Structure 1
Amino acid sequence: MRNFYQHKKALDENGFSIIENCFSEKVLRKIIRIVENNNFNFSERQLLNRFPEIEKLIFENDNFKKLFRTICEESYFLSKAIYFNKPPKSNWFVSYHQDLSISVKNKIEEEGFNSWTNKKGQLGVIPPLNILKNIVTFRIHLDKTDKTNGVLKVISKSHKKGIIRLDNCFFESKELEEVVCDVGKGGIMLMKPLLLHSSQKSISENDRRVIHLEFCNQEIPMEWLEKKYFNYN
C-alpha cells in the first residue's frame, strides 16, 4: 500500500505536493467519456452534483481514498467541484493569483466576508483568512501536464503569507521560489488555495483537463453551496 504522509508534510510546508499514478488508464477513460459525452467546454461548475457518476469513480478509487484520509480529517467535506480544460493551443495565460472566493447558497452580509460576486446565478464571496487556511485542493489530472500545455507555476511557501498584495515589491523579493509543477496523466496535485499560482498559454496539440476539488472543515453563516460529506472507509 502506498504511503502518503510525506505529501501531507510537503503540503503544509510548501503549499503543494504532487502524487503521480493515482488513477488507472481504465478509470480515466471512463471519466473522459462522461466529459466528452456531455460536451464540456472550458469549465463545468458544481461538477459532482451534476455528474454523480464522476463522483463515484473518484471516491471508489483506493489511492484517492487513502490520500484523502491522510490529508483530511473526518470533519472535512467537499466545498467546490469544477472541471477545467485548457484546450490545444489556447491563447490565454493566467497571471499569479490566489484562490480566494468560495461558493455559497445565500447572500448574508457578515463581518469578514467581502467581495461578493454572482456568476450565472452562483454566489461567491471571499471569506475570513481562517476559513481559507483550512481549505485543501485536490487537482486530478486527466491529461499529462507540462510546460507546453498550461502547467501550473507556483511560488513555494507563499500560502504562509496570508492574502497577498501583488505589487512590484512582492515580485522583487529574492526569497521567492518559483516551481513548475509537471503532473503526469492520472496524477494529483495537492494545493493550498492561498498558494500563489499561474499558468501559461498552451502551445500543444493536447488538452489540459483537470478536476478541481476543494475541501474544508469550517462552517459559514451563508452555507456552502456544494457541501457534501463522503464515506471513504
Structure 2
Amino acid sequence: MSLNNLENHKSHIEEYGFAVINNVFSQKELEDINLVLRNIDTSKENFRKSEDLFAIRQFLKEVPKIKDLVLNDNIQKVVRKIFGEKYFVVKSIYFDKPETSNWYVAYHQDLTISVDKKLELANFGPWTTKQNQFAVQPPLAVLENIYTIRIHLDDTDENNGALKVVPKSHAKGIYRPETIDWTIETEEICNVEKGGIMIMKPLTLHGSNRTTNGKKRRVIHIEFSDMELPEVLQWSERMN
C-alpha cells in the first residue's frame, strides 16, 4: 500500500473528490473477512436480498466480528492521515452484486445521513424511515465533512460495476444529476483491485453500470465524520 503517498491522495481527494489506493488489505486479511461473510445469518431484517443485490445495512453493528478485520491498521492510518485525528464511523453497508446482476445505479450524490430519531430541526430534511432506521438530509456543511471508504473484496472494473464519477463535482454543492452538462464535465471509471479501497466525498456524483463480465463485486461502504450533530440528534451508527 502506498502509505507514503497519503499526502498526495489527500490533495487528490480535495481537488477531484475521490482517490483509489490498492493493497490496503493483505491476502490473509481478505481470507479472514471472507470467512466471516460466508458464515453470516442472512435472514435478519436489516438484510436486503434480491437476485441483483444483497445488502446489509448497519453492517459493523450487525456483524460485530467483522469490525476489527475491516478497520485494520492501514485503514486507521488512512483515516488519521487523510481525514483527521477525530474522525469516527457514522455509517456502514455491505453490498454484494452477484455475477448475474443487472443492478445499475444512475448518477447521484449521497445526500442523507443515518440518525437515531426523527425530530423537527432547522435545515434538516427531507426525512425517510426504513425498518425503523431514520435518514435525513443534513445541512451542506455536514455532508461536505464526510469521507466514504469503499473496501473492495473483488477486482472491480467497468465490466462488473466499478463506480463512475464526475471529477470535482463534490465542490459544487447539491448537484442535480439531470443538470449535468457533459460538454464541460468528464467521467472517470474507478477500477479497484481486490484488497484496495476507493475513498470518496459523498457529494461526488457517482453511479455504476450493470455487470457484463460475469464477475461478482462485493464492497464494504463505510462513512466517517468528526462532527457532532445539533441538539439531541445522534449518528445512529456512531463507532469510535
Local SS of the residue matching 2:234:
coil
Write the distance in 1 (CA, Å) between the matches of 2:133 and 2:153.
26
Write the distance in 2 (CA, Å) between the matches of 1:147 and 1:124.
30
Local SS of the residue matching 2:81:
helix
1:193 partnered with 2:202? yes
Which residue, out of 116, 124, 129, partners 1:118? Answer: 129
Write the distance in 2 (CA, Å) between the matches of 1:172 and 1:48.
38
1:49 partnered with 2:50? no
Write the distance in 2 (CA, Å) between the matches of 1:24 and 1:141.
12
Write the distance in 1 (CA, Å) between the matches of 2:74 and 2:234.
30
Is residue 163–residue 208 contact of structure 2 (8 Å, CA) maintained in 1?
A: yes
For 2:24, the equivalent position in structure 1 comes to 22
For 1:132, the equivalent position in structure 2 comes to 143
Write the distance in 1 (CA, Å) between the matches of 2:100 and 2:191.
18
Q: Following TM superposition, by how much is the alpha carbon of 1:149 offset from its aligned partner in structure 2, in angstroms?
A: 0.8
Q: Following TM superposition, by how much is the alpha carbon of 1:20 offset from its aligned partner in structure 2, in angstroms?
A: 0.5
1:81-230 matches, cutoff 5 A = 81-167=92-178, 170-221=179-230, 222-229=233-240
Q: Following TM superposition, by how much is the alpha carbon of 1:71 offset from its aligned partner in structure 2, in angstroms?
A: 1.2
Write the distance in 1 (CA, Å) between the matches of 2:205 and 2:225.
19
Aligned-residue identity in percent: 48
In structure 2, what residue type is equivalent to 1:194?
L
Structure ranking higher on relative contact order (CA contacts 8 Å, 6+ apart): 1
In structure 2, what residue type is equivalent to 1:140?
I
The 1:45–1:84 alpha-carbon spacing in structure 2 relative to 1, beyond 3 Å, is same
Is residue 80–residue 87 contact of structure 2 (8 Å, CA) maintained in 1?
A: no
Give me the TM-score of the superposition, normalised by structure 2. Answer: 0.90
Is residue 40–residue 63 contact of structure 2 (8 Å, CA) maintained in 1?
A: no
Of residues 118-127 and 37-46 in structure 1, the stretch that sits farther from structure 2 once superposed is: 37-46
Cα deviations by residue, 1:108-131 (Å, 9 ceiling, x for unpaired): 111111111111111100000000
Cα deviations by residue, 1:16-65 (Å, 9 ceiling, x for unpaired): 00001110111111111211211554110111112222111122x33222
Report the aligned-residue RMSD. Answer: 1.4
Of residues 103-112 and 189-198 in structure 1, the stretch that sits farther from structure 2 once superposed is: 103-112
Q: Where does the alignment leave 5 or more consecutive residues of structure 1 unmatched?
A: none
Q: Following TM superposition, by how much is the alpha carbon of 1:77 offset from its aligned partner in structure 2, in angstroms?
A: 1.1
Q: Where does the alignment leave 5 or more consecutive residues of structure 2 unmatched?
A: 43-48
Write the distance in 1 (CA, Å) between the matches of 2:134 and 2:62.
17
In structure 1, what residue type is equivalent to 2:212?
I
In structure 1, what residue type is equivalent to 2:3?
R
Write the distance in 1 (CA, Å) between the matches of 2:162 and 2:3.
26
Write the distance in 2 (CA, Å) between the matches of 1:173 and 1:206.
30
In structure 2, what residue type is equivalent to 1:54?
I
Is residue 89–residue 201 contact of structure 1 (8 Å, CA) maintained in 2?
A: no
Write the distance in 2 (CA, Å) between the matches of 1:63 and 1:215.
15
Is residue 116–residue 125 contact of structure 1 (8 Å, CA) maintained in 2?
A: yes
Write the distance in 2 (CA, Å) between the matches of 1:172 and 1:131.
26
Write the distance in 2 (CA, Å) between the matches of 1:29 and 1:107.
39
The 1:2–1:220 alpha-carbon spacing in structure 2 relative to 1, beyond 3 Å, is closer
Q: Following TM superposition, by how much is the alpha carbon of 1:171 offset from its aligned partner in structure 2, in angstroms?
A: 2.7
1:2 partnered with 2:8? no
